[in-house]
Structure 1
């Protein structure tokens, strides 16, 4: 928080999250959504959605300023809706979760699990992936995923406990055991491994064509699928109206093909590109559900952020 010493700002952030966990659960659902819509509108009005607007402008270049402004407003509302739903998730029972989720294309994933295998999923920051994870643990199979370590540490712990409370196994991206070996171990048992990959959090990312522009994405899902010979499913998530409230649609797209020839790195890049193609189509169609407030396109990145050498 601007103007506060670091330790006080961290304490205020933790207190704010804990207040959110407690207070939003007690509000009627419609009132909670209206409150978060209002916060989203204020955020946009105060210029807090500049990066979202820049990203939307790149994937939807046909929009004029007025249409882009309207889309950003809806995007920020969708982004805050994610938090509203996250704060309320711990009080939802199985029936309530099921009522909020519609699924398409999950038959192929269920076949993999029923055969004793695991399914690796390539996700973007679309819709509500925590609600999707909660649905998965209840109605699909065990879920193991990776979480970016947030600052301050107390906030990361809050979200870690929240997601584990939903039934998911969470591996911290940094500050814990090596992630890739742990994921390989997980992939050897029947479970779903969804990984957010539309943003490069390390220097190991690969450059792909995303909505017609070069962007950096994480190679982890493709590398894991190749290493353990598991299918790689692109997955898109979007919000949809449910009566007076909201729900989500989880779409399991067909698994991407594994190139017959080429070095491992080349196969990883090709499979990541195939996932980026699917994700790009979803982002163009449901742009307001893409909650990307960071830089992903190469032209927006620091020039010093060069690709790492191939492992």
Structure 2
């Protein structure tokens, strides 16, 4: 089990291993080097590093990115897919560079360099005083987007899984706090939704959840780009607890140094069961990913056929049978074993 806690409640950090110490200083060296780059050089760097990363990546990883994007853009030709994969590496390089330089960015300048659509939907959450739920994915420039939202006083709060070495975790937490985000650490022992529910109900916060990858292999199997995929149920579950609607959105990069915030209209999922709510959120995520497929930074197996190829739902899907009924039954059985609610 896992439980959420405040940052002050975290247990003492265990002694660092040599490998963890080396990892920390590798991150620090890259972080510090990126932060001190002159602006014009930093803007050009992703276009130079991305293709090198693409060529140097393992065949297995490149093939996985290609398979993921082929599901998103099913009509792409082989040459178009290859270019899309290359662009994905460029975009991911831009993401990391922006993250490492975030503490040197000026919020006002970020806003001035940004375009947007649909942000009034989250403004309405803020102005209501009742908070809201924001579903997003591994898209665009997440950390810079957080800095942007702080300029609009959205009161964003996110969950961060506790990782070691602790110094690295604390550095990432400081980065997000400096960008105006509240952070709830995720540790072993309970339910992270308790803290999120309290922050939404009591503080009117914007609870923000990454909804495009299920790290536990326990989430409901829903249709994602017409193929069975496990997605995390937290967004739908939190909507049921709080009664608040869900808006999906992301902060994409545009050009060498610009950004574009994109937020979709809220959907009401509080009256749906968690399975149906997760399916509704999946449909919203599809719109985000299609908006800029090359900026979707999922370089690992994500769909059920890649992660659990022998699952009965995969067998039914491959046979062209009605796999959705099996998927819902799988979720109901799993929740029954855990003693969970709908």
Equivalent pair of 2:155/2:181 in contact (CA under 8 Å)? yes
- Which shifted more, 29-38 or 211-220? 29-38
**Are residues 1:280 and 2:257 paired?**
no
1:215 is aligned, of 201, 216, 229, to 229
**C-alpha contact 2:218 2:230 (8 A) present in aligned 1:** no
Question: What's the offset of the Cα at 1:144?
Answer: 0.5
- Structure 2 match to 1:3: none
Offset of residue 203 of structure 1: 4.0
Decide which structure has the larger Cα Rg and report it.
Answer: 2
CA distance in 1, matches of 2:237, 2:19: 38
Kept after mapping to 2: 8 A contact 1:256/1:271 = no
Mapped contact 2:162–2:185 kept (Cα < 8 A): yes
- CA contact 1:100–1:247 (8 Å) conserved in 2: yes
- Partner of 2:69 in structure 1? 56
Relative to structure 1, the CA distance from residue 24 to residue 170 in structure 2 (aligned partners, 3 Å threshold; closer, same or farther) is same
Cα distance change of structure 1 residues 37 and 156 upon mapping to structure 2, 3 Å threshold:
farther
Contact 2:136 2:208 survives alignment (8 Å):
yes
- Equivalent residue in structure 2 for 1:239, among 238, 253, 260: 253
Which secondary structure does the structure 1 equivalent of 2:268 belong to?
coil
TM-score by length of 1: 0.87
Task: Tell me if the contact between 1:78 and 1:288 (Cα under 8 Å) persists in the aligned partners.
Answer: yes
Residue number among 158, 163, 187 corresponding to 2:171 in the alignment: 158
- Give CA deviations for 1:161-215 in whole Å, capped at 9, x if unaligned: 2112222111223348741111111111222111111000224411121112111
Matched, 1:30 2:40: yes
Q: How far 1:151 moved relative to its partner?
A: 4.6
CA distance in 1, matches of 2:20, 2:46: 22
Query: Alpha-carbon deviation of 1:57?
Result: 2.2
Is 1:117 paired with 2:117?
no
Over the aligned positions, Cα root-mean-square deviation in angstroms equals 2.3
Contact 2:241 2:270 in 1 (8 A): no
Q: Secondary structure at the match of 2:259?
A: strand
More displaced, 148-157 or 275-284? Answer: 148-157
Give the counterpart of 2:307 among 286, 301, 306.
Answer: 301
Aligned partner of 2:23 in structure 1 is: 13
Unaligned runs of 5+ in 1: 1-5, 261-265
Q: How big is the shift at 1:90?
A: 0.5
CA-CA distance at 1:38 after TM superposition: 2.7
Residue 268 (structure 2) pairs with residue 257 (structure 1): yes
Partner Cα distance (1:118, 1:248) in 2: 25
Indicate which of 215, 224, 228 corresponds to 1:201. Answer: 215
Show CA shifts across 1:242-263 (max 9, x none).
Answer: xxx3222222211113375xxx
Partner of 1:70: 83
Is the Cα–Cα contact under 8 Å of residues 211 and 281 in structure 1 kept in the other structure?
A: no
Q: Deviations over 1:194-244 (max 9, x none)?
A: 111100022441112111211111111111111011111111332212xxx
- 2:273 corresponds in structure 1 to 267
> Contact 1:195/1:221 (CA < 8 Å) preserved in 2?
yes
1:93 corresponds to which residue? 106
Could you say what secondary structure the match of 2:265 adopts? coil
Describe the SS at the equivalent of 1:114: helix
- The CA distance in 2 between the partners of 1:201 and 1:173, in whole Å, is 13
SS in 2 for 1:145: strand
CA–CA separation in structure 1 for the residues paired with 2:189 and 2:177 = 16
Matched with 1:182 is: 195
- Contact kept, 8 Å, 2:157 with 2:206, in 1: the verdict is yes
Contact 2:142 2:250 in 1 (8 A): no
**1:94 offset after TM fit, Å?**
2.5
